Structure formats: structure tokens, C-alpha cells
Amino acid sequence: MVTKDKQMNEDFVETFISECIDNGITNMGDICNLALEKRNELDKKIEEIQALKIQREKLQDVLRSLNHDESKGRGRRSKQPIVNIIDDENDPTYTNLLCDICDIIDKSHGPMTPREVITQIGYSNDDPSPVYMAIKWLASRGILSRNSFDRTIERGENWGDRPHQQQAV
């Protein structure tokens, strides 16, 4: 039984040899040399494409580090615009969320992923975007720092400026 891939390969080989013969290349050595030449040309093109892919990833890193919208990935955004949940920095709900995140980071033994933070907070809502937005808010102020390699978070250079729980009077 011949598989589809094997049949396609046999068809390609047959077509390639037929084209060589049609172009006056009938010696088996010459056909092999032409196949090697074409393969080497393709290898060079593949190397060029690989280099372009690496350059593209580096440019993507630039966009991510500058928080550009285009770096977020296509098709992942919801149709609703993202609303900044930290409209009022003095709102106790947001302050508590920010403080909870900072407490978790403070007690951690190293960098954490946002998902680990969400799990530790025990965020029961189906939509974890408020936690992600709070992390983004903290990172934008240097309170948290994101590792550009694995996107983990840890204390930032402005860690001392983090929000603290309000003491009841």
C-alpha cells in the first residue's frame, strides 16, 4: 500500500527526471548534480528565512518591551476594549488587589508567573483580567518588574513605593 506522501515523492522524482530529460540532461550524474545544485539553493533560502525569523522575533521583543498593541498577538484580544481597572487608585477594592499581589510577590522565593499570582490570590472570578491589569499597573510604575524572557514578575526598582493596606481607624 502506497501512502499519500510516498506517492507525492515518487511523482516529484518522476517529474524532476522527466524535466531533466526534456531539457537534454540524460546522464544520471548530471541529474544528481542538478538536484544537488537546486537543493543547495533552497538551503541558502531557508537560512535566509531563518535569519529573518530571528530578526522578526527581536523586533517583536522591542514591541513587547514598549508595550505596543501589535505585540499582544492577533486574535487573542476580546472584542471589548480593555478598561483600566485602576481608574481610582484610592478605591479600596483596587488597593486591596494591588496589595494582595505585592504581598504574594514579597513572600515568594523568586519570580512568579501571573498565573501563579492569580492562583495564590484565589481569584474566583472567571475573568482574571483585573489581576492582569493590576500587575500591568504595578509594572508600569516600576513596582514590579517583568522578565522579558519568560514574562515572570518580581520586585521592581520602585518596590518601596508599592501600595499598602489601609489601617482601620
More confident residue, 86 or 136: 136
| E strands, 70-167, in order | 144-146, 153-155
Q: Please check whether residue 142 lies inside any domain of the structure.
A: yes
- pLDDT tens-digit readout, 152-168: 899 999 999 888 876 55
Distance CA 161, CA 142 (A): 9
- pLDDT tens-digit readout, 103-150: 999 998 888 988 888 888 876 666 777 888 888 889 899 999 988 778
Tell me phi and psi for residue 16, to 5 degrees: -60, -50
pLDDT confidence tier of residue 75, bands split at 50, 70 and 90: very low
Give the SS3 label for residue 18. Answer: helix
- pLDDT tens-digit readout, 54-70: 898 888 878 877 777 76
Position 113, amino acid: T
Q: Please check whether residue 80 lies inside any domain of the structure.
A: no
Residue 53 in grid coordinates: 525569523
Are 57 and 98 in the same domain? Answer: no
Give the CATH number, domain containing residue 117.
Answer: 1.10.10.10
Are 59 and 109 in the same domain? Answer: no
Q: Please check whether residue 75 lies inside any domain of the structure.
A: no
- The answer to whether the beta carbons of residues 82 and 148 sit under 8 Å apart is no
Residue numbers of the domain that contains 56: 4-65
Distance CA 12, CA 6 (A): 10
Are 108 and 59 in the same domain? Answer: no
> Final residue of a domain: which of 65, 83, 102?
65
CB neighbour list of residue 68: distance below 8 Å, 6 or more residues apart: none
> Final residue of a domain: which of 25, 46, 65?
65
Are 60 and 98 in the same domain? Answer: no
Give the SS3 label for residue 76. Answer: coil
Are 97 and 56 in the same domain? Answer: no
- pLDDT tens-digit readout, 11-23: 888 999 999 999 9
Give this prediction's pTM: 0.47
pLDDT score for 1: 54
Number of domains making up the chain: 2
Residue 159 in grid coordinates: 518596590
Helices (H), 108-144: 114-121, 129-140
- Mean local confidence (pLDDT), 59-87: 58
